[in-house]
Amino acid sequence: MDYEYWTKTINEEDRKINNANRRFRYHCYSLESMSEELIYQERSIFPQNDFTIELFNEDFIDTVQNEKLAKALRHLTDRQQQAIKLAFWEGYQYKEIAEIFQCSPAAVTLLLKRAFQRLRRYYSE
């Protein structure tokens, strides 16, 4: 009788621990996804604050150590420069850049494609 009682008690405790672990893992995943969503919403709601203030602080091209690349970046249009800065220096996704520029993500893709073509042309000279 004692053996059966303790076996049942241990099994019940194991079940409770497994349920608690599952709830904890779900809670962590939901918190992580919630924080990502909040960051995305914050960037979407206040897009002008993200890059216009930083524009006046320091030109991102000045941070490029490769002189030829920096010179090539200066040959791009302002909009292309900002798209490259947001995508590669700031780490924005194309859909976020599209919201900032108030255009579609496909337009951002085309903008960056043209910027890369222009950079390639400059490098080939």
Model confidence at 108, pLDDT cuts 50, 70, 90, reads: very high
With a cut of 90, say whether residue 122 has pLDDT above it.
no
Of the spans 32-41, 42-51, 65-74, which averages the highest pLDDT? 65-74
Close Cβ partners of 123 (under 8 Å, ≥ 6 residues apart): 68, 72
CA distance 68 to 113: 19
- Residue 40: the pLDDT is 64
Burial 84-116 (b: 16+ CB within 10 A, else e): bbbbeebebebebbbbbbeeeeeebeebbeebe
SS3 content of the chain, % helix, strand, coil (to 5): 85, 0, 15
Percentage of residues of the chain with pLDDT beyond 90: 13
* For range 8-33, the mean pLDDT: 69
Among 13-17, 38-42, 74-78, the range scoring the smallest mean pLDDT is 38-42
